[in-house]
Amino acid sequence: MPPGASWRDLVAPYMKPSPGRAWLQLATTFPPFVAVMAALLAALYYHVLAGLILLPAGAVLLVRLFVIQHDCGHGSFFASNWANGLLGRALSLLTLTPYTFWRRDHAMHHATTGDLDRRGTGDVTILTLEEYRALPFLRRMSYRIYRHPLVMFGVGPAWLILLRLRIPKGSPKRQWRDWVSIVGTDLALAGLVTILIATFGLQPVLMGWLPVILLAATVGVWLFYIQHQFEHAYWAARPAWDFHAAALRGSSFYDLPAVLHWMTGNIGFHHIHHLASRIPNYRLKECHEAIPALRTAPRLTLRESFRCARLALWDTEQGRLVPFR
- Residue 295 above 90 pLDDT? no
The helix-helix angle for 55-73 and 19-27 (nearest 10°) equals 150
Kindly report whether the peptide bond that precedes residue 239 is cis, defined as omega within 30 degrees of 0.
Answer: yes
pLDDT score of 175: 85
Least confident of 49-58, 82-91, 290-299, 310-319: 49-58
pLDDT, mean over the chain: 92
- How far is 214 from 53, CA to CA, in rounded Å? 16
* pTM of the predicted model over 0.95: no
- Ramachandran class of 110: left when φ > 0, alpha when ψ lies in -120 to 50, beta otherwise: alpha
Predicted confidence band of residue 93 (pLDDT cuts 50, 70, 90): very high
Higher pLDDT, 203 or 232: 232
- How far is 276 from 161, CA to CA, in rounded Å? 27
Average the pLDDT over 168-184 and give the result.
89
- As for how many domains the chain has, the answer is 1
Q: Structural domain of residue 55, as residue ranges? A: 4-323
pLDDT score of 221: 96
pLDDT score of 3: 58
pLDDT score of 45: 76
